[in-house]
Amino acid sequence: MPSSLAVVIVSYNVRELLRACLRATFASLARSPELATTVWVVDNASADGSAAMTAAEFPQAKLIASDVNLGFAGGNNLALHRLGFGGAEVGVDMVLLLNPDAEPLDDAIGQMARFLVEHEQIGGVGAQLLYPDGQFQHGAFRFPGLWQLWFDLFPPRPRRLLDSRLNGRYDRGLYAAGRPFPIDFALGAALMIRREAIEAAGLLDEGYFMYAEEVDWCWRIQRAGWPFYSVPAAHVIHHGGASTRQFRAESFLNLWRSRRRLYARFYGPVRRRLAVQIVRLGMRAEIGRVRGAAGRGEISAAELHDRVAAARQVASLFKNIRDE
């Protein structure tokens, strides 16, 4: 009996990228006819005609047009519920979460699915992400630690530390070798998880509206006993942040709300206290940076106001970190 796969794409106001994503997805799936597949598109109340385009040009996709923006977690969960998760019977063996700004190349989806089918003890896999120009992009990471937090707020010199283990990265040589290797988590841009792992850990946490949803999910899945791997032979172009770039202050706040929630759930008391100190120090530094940029005429007075206000809100949010 062939393995079954559901591809879930949650989209918000990125019609042209979604069109390219769907074309690439169906082309990749055509390379693996042994897979019984369905493609789900969850439109998060887009105002750019994304839902109409999907219905007209990709009638083979199952379209869910939400009346409200449910975010990444809520949108994916909507499709997962339709697939039977959380109910009596689930109708698929694997689920691929795919961002609308991602384009699977060649047999990428089949490569990921076959690895899961052949390794029943593995909970999920990520792909080798590439920038649109074909350059390497990190797609797998170690779970967030304090060094990663520090480097994000205070970029190090030398810059090569950003590409290091301290910053949660895996050595590029692992990807170049072409063999699957164990990871902590993969980006939600292209993340495939087997049914049993989802059933063990539950659905995505909708307390995260934007950012860190897949980190939380992979962390819970790993704790439930299902490890993750990267499959470097599966190449996926990832444009990166196309939906989230539509905001600035709002996305900045959402990022730090999500990080605070993540730290509350997975950090112990000592790491929480250290995270609070690092973030509050980082927000003071951010205010200094943006004021300097405004003084040099690099940003407008309006942007200065928004960025300072956002940094102050984050600092206030991080007065402490309690259980969530």
Class of the CATH-defined domain 4-244 = alpha beta
The position carrying tokens 């993540």 is 262
Cβ neighbors of 162 (< 8 A, separation 6 or more) are 151, 155, 156, 169
With cut-offs at 50, 70 and 90, classify the pLDDT of residue 246: very low
Cβ neighbors of 11 (< 8 A, separation 6 or more) are 18, 41, 42, 43, 44, 46, 50, 100, 243
Which residue has better confidence, 163 or 317?
Answer: 317
SS3 (DSSP) at 63: strand
Can you name the residues that pair with 235 across neighbouring β-strands? 128
259-313 tens-digit pLDDT: 999 999 999 999 999 999 999 999 999 999 999 999 999 999 999 999 999 999 9
CA distance 100 to 319: 36
Identify the pLDDT of residue 260: 97
The residues of the chain that CATH labels 3.90.550.10 are 4-244
| Burial label, 29 (beta-carbon count in 10 A; 0-12, 13-18, 19+) | buried
215-237 tens-digit pLDDT: 999 999 999 999 999 999 999 99
131-159 tens-digit pLDDT: 999 999 999 999 999 999 999 999 988 88
Using the predicted structure, report yes or no on whether residue 247 has a pLDDT greater than 50: no
For the chain, what is the mean pLDDT?
A: 94
> Helices in 136-224 by DSSP H: which ranges?
146-153, 172-177, 195-201, 213-223
Identify the pLDDT of residue 241: 55
196-215 tens-digit pLDDT: 999 999 999 999 988 899 99
171-184 tens-digit pLDDT: 999 999 999 999 99
pTM of this structure: 0.93
Identify the pLDDT of residue 89: 83
SS3 (DSSP) at 14: coil
24-52 tens-digit pLDDT: 999 999 999 999 999 999 999 999 999 99
CA distance 148 to 68: 34
Identify the pLDDT of residue 243: 47
Identify the pLDDT of residue 137: 96
CA distance 129 to 123: 19
SS3 (DSSP) at 130: strand
- Count of residues in the chain: 324
The beta-strand segments (E) located in the chain are 4-11, 36-44, 62-66, 94-98, 102-104, 124-130, 136-137, 140-141, 181-183, 185-186, 190-194, 228-238
CA distance 140 to 125: 9
Identify the pLDDT of residue 268: 96
Phi, psi of 27 (to 5 degrees): -65, -40
Share of the chain above pLDDT 90, in %: 89
